Amino acid sequence: MSLAERAEMPSDIEAIRAVTASLAAAAYDKNAAAMARHYAPGAAIADLAPPLVSRGFDVAKAQAWLDDWDGPVEIEMRDLMIEAEGDLGLCHGLQYVRARTRQGEEAAWWSRITMTFARAGRGWQITHEHNSVPFYMDGSYRAAIDLDP
């Protein structure tokens, strides 16, 4: 790669941020296939719902989840910390999801999101994702989907 080419490349931090923005855009468009392109084959995914960890982005499951909402699924990132060295990248922060149920109710929740990236050609692919909410340790074991940062 020439210096001129390199100078035109987004920084690794910008490139990783662009992946998160592309994921949000794909969720808004309810296009799970467009989301899947950002995941490495066999990526380790620890999601809000069981199991503890699954392997590989499940396009059909993601599409069914997106289609279960009425209208777009809006995803915003906050306090996103991005780091990259060599071929290893990661980001962690908070994710705010808003969508409308088929019954017309507005749903919205904050979760904690962490993603690991591997350099893939000129871009970055997600090799690991961890998305969660805490739970109340008051004996209820209720998932804390009602927290604000």
Asked if 63 touches its own copies (CB under 8 A), the answer is: no
Q: Dihedral of the CA atoms 76, 133, 125, 37 (nearest 10)?
A: -70
Task: Retrieve residue 124's tokens.
Answer: 């970055």
Which residue's structure tokens are 């999601």? 47
Q: How far is the CB of 4 from its own copies (least distance, A)?
A: 25
Task: Retrieve residue 24's tokens.
Answer: 């949000």
- 34 or 90: CB nearest its own copies: 90
Asked if 60 touches its own copies (CB under 8 A), the answer is: no
Contact 83, 90 (CB under 8 A): yes
Contact 111, 94 (CB under 8 A): yes
Q: How far is the CB of 38 from its own copies (least distance, A)?
A: 18
Asked if 12 touches its own copies (CB under 8 A), the answer is: no
Asked if 46 touches its own copies (CB under 8 A), the answer is: yes
Report residue 81 CA to chain centroid gap: 13
Asked if 133 touches its own copies (CB under 8 A), the answer is: yes
Residues that bind its own copies (CB under 8 A): 44, 46-53, 79, 81, 83-88, 90, 92, 94, 110-112, 114, 116, 128, 130, 132-137, 141-145, 147, 149
